[in-house]
Copies of this chain bind each other. A is one copy, B any other.
């Protein structure tokens, strides 16, 4: 089969340490267990604190470790698969949709959303903004802002409460034909609101899923959903 070496690249020290600690996690630690402090770990593995921190950071990115506020660094459970395939999805709020609405108001959306919606991005054309949360096994896994121009949900504008507004807006969408949707996943950092909803620190890495819902050749809604990158893997396929 030839002589190409897949592992021909010299590994930096922190990367090798990451592998060694990963093996120790498998053999010596249970899920949820709190790791010894950095000083002890650095001594055990005979490395500098900076090297240790890099290795722990990478194990956190890979979902092996979890930084928990007020607890410390613990061994993470396997990531949860969360289905984000478009085929299984109808309009937001349709049957089988597990998201919970947390309120609705009128806001001027971010520029990228205005452009996608074809609303006035210079001025301050306000759109319905529904905030929703996805909870799995008692844990919040994603926070969403769903933007809907008022023209698509005029009934939602004049209702007594934010919760009733969310219901009206989602109901109005379901009356439209859904012709298609496209979705993109990218890396982002949690804003203060999302972080609070997700029980994370602001600025923590998140997976941002942006969905454009198309009805009669127009974008009728844009959803920007922020998934916890530490506990979720996003699944799709046929």
Contacts and interface: CB of A to CB of B under 8 A. Distances in A.
Interface stretch (A29-37, A41-49, A67-75, A160-168): A160-168
Contact of A104 (B4, B107, B157, B182): B4
Interface residues of A, number: 71
B14 A203 contact: yes
Q: Which of A2, A58, A62, A191: most chain B Cβ within 10 A?
A: A2
A229 interface: yes
A202 B15 contact: yes
Given A61-B205, A186-B229, A189-B58, A9 B196 contact: yes
A18 B202 CA distance: 11
A225 to B, nearest CB: 13
A107 B203 CA distance: 38
A178 to B, nearest CB: 10
A27 interface: no
Contacts of A18: 189, 203
Given A8-B193, A62-B189, A105-B6, A1 B183 contact: no
A235 to B, nearest CB: 5
Given A105-B1, A235-B182, A237-B181, A131 B6 contact: yes
A87 B157 CA distance: 39
B180 A237 contact: yes
A184 B129 contact: no
Nearest to A54: B203
A15 B12 CA distance: 32
A140 interface: no
Nearest to A2: B162
A57 interface: yes
Q: State the 6 A-B residue pairs at the shortest beta-carbon distance, nearest first.
A: A2-B162, A182-B237, A4-B103, A186-B233, A58-B189, A187-B229
20 contacts: A2-B103, A2-B162, A2-B163, A4-B103, A4-B104, A6-B103, A6-B193, A9-B193, A10-B192, A14-B203, A15-B191, A61-B189, A86-B237, A86-B238, A183-B236, A184-B234, A185-B236, A186-B207, A186-B229, A187-B187
